[in-house]
Chain A
Amino acid sequence: MKVLIPGPLLSYTKERHVEASGTTLAELLADLDHQYPGLRFRVIDEQNRMRPHMRFFVNGEQVFDLTCPLRPTDAVYLVQALSGG
């Protein structure tokens, strides 16, 4: 499925849109980490919690659970929350 990558993670993927697979958000992130080593830990902490300023959207809906099921046709967006300074 298509995954939109936020700016801060472009140092890993080099491109905004990448392909990854998985039947859950957790599996998708595992595949992304396999393709782009280190990426997962920057967005998910060691207790499997989403990091405070990262947001995950599936087909435009924000999800908060890594067990969220995914289909191959879904569009997943990784988004950085508005926080700066």
Chain B
Amino acid sequence: MKSATSKPVTRKQGLAARVKRASRLKPARKVLVLVATRKGAWLFHGDVARKTWRVDGPHFLGHIINHLVLDPRDGRTLLAAAKTGHLGPTIFRSTDRGRTWKEAARPPAFAKATDGSGRAVDHTFWLTPCHANEPSVWYAGTSPQGLFRSGDGGDTWQPFSHINDDPNYRAWMGSVQDGTPDGPKLHSIIVDPRDPAHLYFAMSGGGIHESVDGGKTFKPIVKGMEVVGGFDAANIAFHDPHCVRLCPSNPDRLYQQNHCGIYRLDRPSNEWVRIGRKMPKRVGDIGFPMVVHPRDADTAWVFPMDGQTVWPRTSPGGKPAAYVTRNGGKSWQRQDAGLPESQAWWTVKRQAMTADAQDPVGLYVGTTSGELWMSRDEGERWTCIARNLPEIYAVEAAEIA
């Protein structure tokens, strides 16, 4: 029986105890942080406590690296989505965790059109490795929007499904003027860990889409999502999801950071709920990344950006902060301890915030001003890992033995 005089353990004390326990147990798996930038890629190897980081890089100095991802199925294969200012896009592969690299034999490319109207991939933007139940399979999303699949670990890629050439999808994708400043993107490719035939992807712009038949057909899933004032939410083209994540601990729950708010979707419902309404009004619920907890589907993080007037897309008030919900979006708490307190006009892109799978969870944030920050206690306190990197496009945290 609990002593009547025992004090309740606060959340901070609980986290501190978990940090202490974790460091005592010396977790066997270390964290490798993969940083993709506009001028190359860097790998940061953490010690077991995630306190010191050994930098490995630059890789591909001068190349535009949109995404750098480690295959969790073998812990060795890295794929890097690359291009340069002059050269066309490609995929580089490493099977020894970045010691050596080889170019993919057939990078993502659209089908050749006979009438001259065909599209060309400008860059591969997003890489998704599948789960252990689908060995060697990867998906890629490109700009302009295209969906591609590799069945051989990322060496050769083929256009996937009907969407690249489907008239409806082409209309929803819009033109280059309807996308982000450096082109419209297909992103957030998600494979249901229980069922490889159950897929999601998102487009900026162009909505969120689901397949339950292995990509033979896709359907929009945008009910409940809002669009910019004055536009018709019934038009899929006007929907701009910035980042969608599926909860590993509950694959029936998805979170989304959208151009117009933060949302949660609990399947089998098809209706998104705008949970960002509970964010402080002065901060708003606009941003790019969405991060989910590896083991708790009620916990998720965002990194708000100023979405007012001309869309500055910088930390509101020049005061960067993450916001966490621990109850599925019913309420949010600010997490800014250790972050700059003023005059820090950060932009954090949609792929530039992530979590590791350790306990407590580590969070990682990369800025367009080239700073890499992390928290080893689920956002309670932040420390800087690196400064003076090029503009950071993507940050991934991989677990390695």
Contacts and interface: CB of A to CB of B under 8 A. Distances in A.
B86 A6 contact: yes
A51 B121 CA distance: 11
B55 interface: no
Given A41-B109, A53-B85, A84-B85, A47 B90 contact: no
Interface stretch (B112-120, B239-247, B294-302): B112-120
Given A37-B105, A38-B103, A45 B86 contact: no
B110 interface: yes
A10 to B, nearest CB: 11
B113 A51 contact: no
Nearest to B117: A47
Interface size class of A (residues with CB under 8 A): 20 to 34
A4 to B, nearest CB: 15
A54 interface: yes
A51 B85 contact: no
Nearest to A41: B88
Contacts of A85: 85
Contacts of A37: 103, 105
Contacts of B84: 8
Interface string A1-38: 00000101100000000000000000000000000011
B86 A46 contact: no
B112 A54 contact: no
A53 B105 CA distance: 23
A77 B120 CA distance: 24
Given A47-B112, A47-B113, A42 B87 contact: yes
Contacts of A49: 120
A81 to B, nearest CB: 7
Interface string A47-70: 111010110000000000000000
B304 interface: no
Contacts of A8: 84, 86-87
A9 B116 CA distance: 27
A43 interface: yes
Q: Which of B87, B103, B105, B111 has the most CB of A within 10 A?
A: B87
Given A38-B103, A48-B112, A43 B118 contact: no
B329 interface: no
Contacts of A46: 109-112, 118, 120-121
Interface string A67-85: 0000000000000110111
Interface of A: 6, 8-9, 37-38, 41-49, 51, 53-54, 80-81, 83-85
Interface of B: 84-88, 90, 103, 105, 107, 109-113, 116, 118-121
26 contacts: A6-B86, A8-B86, A37-B103, A37-B105, A38-B90, A41-B88, A42-B90, A43-B87, A43-B88, A45-B120, A45-B121, A46-B111, A46-B112, A46-B118, A46-B121, A47-B112, A47-B113, A47-B116, A47-B118, A47-B119, A51-B86, A53-B85, A53-B86, A54-B86, A80-B86, A84-B85
Given A38-B105, A42-B88, A47-B113, 17 more contacts: A8-B87, A38-B103, A41-B88, A41-B107, A44-B88, A45-B88, A46-B110, A46-B111, A46-B118, A46-B121, A47-B110, A47-B116, A49-B120, A53-B86, A54-B86, A54-B87, A83-B86
